[in-house]
Structure 1
Amino acid sequence: MGRTREMGMDGDICSRALVRLLLDHHSVGALEPHLSFHSHRKALSENLYEEMADRIDSVVMLGKIPKELKENKGFSEWSSGMTSRNHPPIVQILIDERDQYSIDSDGNALPTLVYMAREKRPQHHHYFKAGAMNALIRASSEISNSPIILNLDCDMYSNNSESIRHALCFFLDEEKGQDIGFVQYPQLFDNVTKNDLYGYSFNVATKVVFPGFDNWGGPWYAGTGCFHRREILCGRKYSKDYKEDWKRGIERKTAKSACILEERAKSLITCTYEHNTQWGQEIGLKYDCPVEDVITGLLIQCRGWKSVYFSPSRKAFLGVAPTTLAQSLVQWKRGSEGNFQIFLSKYCPFILGRGKIKLGLQMAYCVYGLWAPSSLPTLYYLVIPSLCLLKGISLFPKITSPWFLSFAYVTIGKHVYGLVESLQCGNTLAGWWNFQRMWILSRTTSFLYGFTSTILNLLRISKMGFAITAKVSDGDASKRYEQDVLELGSSSSMFVIIGAVAMLNLLCLVGGLQRLVVDGGIMGLEPLFIQILLCGLVVAIHLPIYEALFIRKDKGSLPLTVTFLSLGSAVLVSLLTMV
């Protein structure tokens, strides 16, 4: 079952989905790669996107579905009084594999394809992606009830037709296949720049981190590129005598007409269907968590199931990574916020997973659960040593002290190891440096916001929201992205923090060096050497930020308001330190 972005008449995400039901006991034809796929894809996608945007805008202006679209049965049910947030359930079987005319150009039978729009009403919470997935699970159970479900994000596509066969090899393995709940493929992107500007290549995670999960029970559920057993998504617990029924649904599907299947599926995707049920709790994807995929995978593994991570040489699924810094930071905020929420809840891996999953897997989950609070020590090391340098206060051992060796060993060893590992996994030197920048930027903004939001939510001061990551940029922004130029161009409060930290370190470095030259000369460098080096590295890593603050004139530069606030904050803190 593939998931697409659900676009309503007002262009917002709503409860309309296009479902592809896989493995319904038919053969799946191979996908022939186009010889010049990438060169044609860009031109085609730009033209198609503009055409689609124009059509959506026209529909929004009209406030109703055009007559030519109403010839399609699915669209004909959309009336002028319906909106993306207020409409009844709609289900239409677009392609029925039982139909003798449903064949491709080579004469092969096409798989069943279904259009679905779950019911939405303003007075009922729809639970975003988790709600859409649960509705799709129920609707597909009536139409196909196939034992395996593929979950694929709306901005991803299949790049390897063998991925289905590979997943089935794990599920059908005679010795270990019966305890595998899902097969997770890596989440990869086809628009990552050569030097990986925003750190989305995930090469180290793909080739080192996630393969290591297999020894502890398998990786977590990443939310896309994942093949699940249907029964585990419906809450089934693992048992040694479990045996998959690979013939399920054949009689049900062949015995009913398309109209009957559509009507029965509609009854399963109404707003009130889940009331007083375990859907969203023990059944389906978990509700009330920004990272519904992670917590759902944890619950599945705590029910005794294992998972498998598989990364074939030909990438199985490819998607679209954020192309601006703002988009990236919003996405990192949601991830850190959701994982920290899990860590502080009854679903904490050390609590829920005790005696159910291995200690190594519990620790692996908690590494991500502690993303958000890691913002605090990061901010400390970015601010306090620099302020102490400005004040002339030494925080670290002198170069001549034996204790200096321990600091040097840990710092140099950690970064050299990370650099070598990154280069071995296919990253460039510039890509590794860009990742270090994103490591700092995300922890001083996204993770800090995620930490604050989670704490405020626990104290019931504010309610946690769900931010959707937009991944469409204008032409100029796309060109800058391809040239590995940071795209800021927003007055976001996150950028004020980034600018303030950058300016504070620059002022402290200049002020600290000036104080040393005037007061102590070159010999005064020894007690403050580590702080000078640390502050200098922070300044070097923020060089693109200084360009965006003072040099660049394009739309990707920082607005004057951000420049003034950043510079003002840094100057104020520096003056207060010197008092």
Structure 2
Amino acid sequence: MYRYEDKTEWGDRVGWIYGSVTEDVVTGYRMHNRGWRSVYCITKRDAFRGSAPINLTDRLHQVLRWATGSVEIFFSRNNAFLATRRLKMLQRLAYLNVGIYPFTSIFLIVYCFLPALSLFSGFFIVQTLDITFLIYLLLITICLVLLAILEVKWSGIELEEWWRNEQFWLISGTSAHFAAVMQGLLKVIAGIEISFTLTSKSAGDDVDDIYADLYLVKWTSLMIPPIVIAMTNIIAMAFAFIRTIYSTVPQWSKFVGGAFFSFWVLAHLYPFAKGLMGRRRKTPTIVFVWSGLIAITISLLWIAISPPKATGTADGAGGGFQFP
């Protein structure tokens, strides 16, 4: 009977819970919050199989939908902060992570722009490299390496797959996760409902190639933040390189330090740039338009903030420009 839910609490208090983009998370939370126990079962043969998007645009839309559902959970009564005592501590932390992780995109975007800001300003991110800072940096680096080794060993994947996952984490964090936070805030503050683009899982027009959909490039506004980040870091590296060459006392240490962090950001965005090229390296015209506008805007903004100083001889002969 298709009307078996009528006049029942199915979908509201029992069964598969409705009213959320991420119904599976809400359903699991409701069950654990009432004291139910769950067991992770791995069968020899796959119990279920599904299809997933493989091209960049549809993948970003899918991540956007998941992240928006997490933001909705954070601003709803399903927040783990409001859970009962039946929810165990580790479960509470897990559900808190589900609702909070999209907000880390704000800090991630700031971190991606910091190297470029350092190159533009000429000041290194850290003013003094003292022993305390170096020890702190060493401990953080060791912890990150150990965490990476633990993830690789626990999941049974190769190091290359782990690195690919790290790259997509930054790509989705600066695009889909940030957009999800903005949409979630608009819904909570202004009451604006969220609309989604359904994820396409077709294989494209080329039925002979099962990976034909991988090479499709469809423009979406989610691509704007990663493009801005990549172009800003590239322009900052070029600007700092030219300034270092033409300066009276070249400070290559500052340039190398700032360029290293910008290169680290660009290395994470490499799959994104490669995905924009498509199969035959055909890039949508809008990508070049945005790239040009961003480059011109950043250049004019920097000239307006810190214009070059004109220098010349006492009698007015000769002249040139000196970067600040």
What secondary structure does 1:504 align onto? helix
Q: How many Å separate the matches in 1 of 2:10 and 2:293? A: 51
Work out the number of aligned pairs and report it.
304
1:324 is aligned to: 55
User: What are the superposed Cα offsets for residues 460-517 of structure 1, whole Å, 9 maximum, x if unpaired?
Assistant: 34102344322112255995958xx974611211122222221111111222233233
Distance 1:453-1:382 versus aligned 2 partners, 3 A rule: same
User: What are the superposed Cα offsets for residues 97-123 of structure 1, whole Å, 9 maximum, x if unpaired?
Assistant: xxxxxxxxxxxxxxxxxxxxxxxxxxx
Q: How many Å separate the matches in 1 of 2:151 and 2:91? A: 22
Question: Does residue 392 of structure 1 match 2:119?
Answer: no
Given the alignment, which residue of 507, 510, 529 partners 2:235? 507
What secondary structure does 2:124 align onto? coil
How much has 1:332 moved relative to structure 2? 1.0
**Structure 1 stretches lacking a partner, 5+ long:** 1-264
TM-score by length of 1: 0.48
1:518 is aligned to: 246
Given the alignment, which residue of 247, 250, 258 partners 1:531? 258
Q: How many Å separate the matches in 1 of 2:50 and 2:101? A: 24
How much has 1:425 moved relative to structure 2? 3.2
Give the % identical residues. Answer: 25
Q: Once superposed, what is the RMSD of the aligned Cα atoms? A: 3.0
User: What are the superposed Cα offsets for residues 214-264 of structure 1, whole Å, 9 maximum, x if unpaired?
Assistant: xxxxxxxxxxxxxxxxxxxxxxxxxxxxxxxxxxxxxxxxxxxxxxxxxxx
Distance 1:531-1:495 versus aligned 2 partners, 3 A rule: same
Q: Give yes or no for contact 2:55–2:215 (8 Å, CA) kept in 1.
A: yes
Distance 1:451-1:266 versus aligned 2 partners, 3 A rule: closer
Q: How many Å separate the matches in 1 of 2:181 and 2:278? A: 34
Given the alignment, which residue of 19, 25, 30 partners 1:299? 30
* Higher-Rg member (1/2): 1
How much has 1:419 moved relative to structure 2? 4.8
Given the alignment, which residue of 554, 560, 564 partners 2:289? 564
Q: How many Å separate the matches in 2 of 1:520 and 1:432? A: 44
1:240 is aligned to: none
Q: Give yes or no for contact 1:323–1:478 (8 Å, CA) kept in 2.
A: no
What secondary structure does 1:308 align onto? coil
Distance 1:267-1:346 versus aligned 2 partners, 3 A rule: closer
How much has 1:335 moved relative to structure 2? 1.1
2:320 is aligned to: none
Higher relative contact order (CA 8 A, sep 6+): 2
Distance 1:545-1:307 versus aligned 2 partners, 3 A rule: closer
Q: How many Å separate the matches in 1 of 2:130 and 2:208? A: 50
Amino acid at match of 2:199: T
Q: Give yes or no for contact 2:32–2:87 (8 Å, CA) kept in 1.
A: yes
2:309 is aligned to: none
Q: How many Å separate the matches in 2 of 1:371 and 1:502? A: 23
1:368 is aligned to: 98
Distance 1:414-1:541 versus aligned 2 partners, 3 A rule: same
Given the alignment, which residue of 159, 170, 181 partners 1:429? 159
How much has 1:529 moved relative to structure 2? 5.1
Question: Does residue 458 of structure 1 match 2:188?
Answer: yes
Q: How many Å separate the matches in 2 of 1:436 and 1:279? A: 39
Q: Give yes or no for contact 2:34–2:86 (8 Å, CA) kept in 1.
A: yes
Amino acid at match of 1:282: R
